[in-house]
Amino acid sequence: MGFQSLVLIVIVLLVSAATNQAIPVDINDPHMIKVATFAVTNYNKHNTEANLIFEKVINGVSDVTENGTNYRLTLSANDGSTSNNFSAIVLENPADNFTLTAFALIPHAYFFFRNSFLNY
């Protein structure tokens, strides 16, 4: 009986761990493009100085939570003259509603290296 209980506990832990893992998304999936377009449009709505135009999804992962599905995407958007990469987190709840929970510019690698060298 003790061994069976131990096996059951291990199975429950493995299933629990497996359900909380991020899963890579298909960047060409129309649904991912819809999610990314929502992120850019919503960001523009809440930032009057922003006028970004969605270009493409670069990569992303999804994970299921008790509130719905979180999509963590890296996307490319253009401000009219320059393309930049952005990080976005969008929650999709079971009613197929989206909520933008984070959106930020990803600085070019040049700035990381430049600042590192200037500090020495």
Query: In the chain, what are the domains?
Result: 22-118 (3.10.450.10)
Q: What does the pLDDT read at residue 110?
A: 43
> Residue 87: pLDDT band by 50, 70, 90 thresholds?
very high
- From residue 70, how far is each of 60, 86, 106, 116, 118 by CA, in Å? 10, 16, 19, 33, 37
pLDDT of residue 107: 86
Distance CA 105, CA 47 (A): 13
Report pTM: 0.74
Which of 52-56, 83-87, 108-112 has the weakest average pLDDT? 108-112
pLDDT reported for residue 116 = 54
What is the pLDDT at residue 109? 61
User: pLDDT by residue (tens digit) across 44-74?
Assistant: 999 988 999 999 999 999 999 889 999 999 9
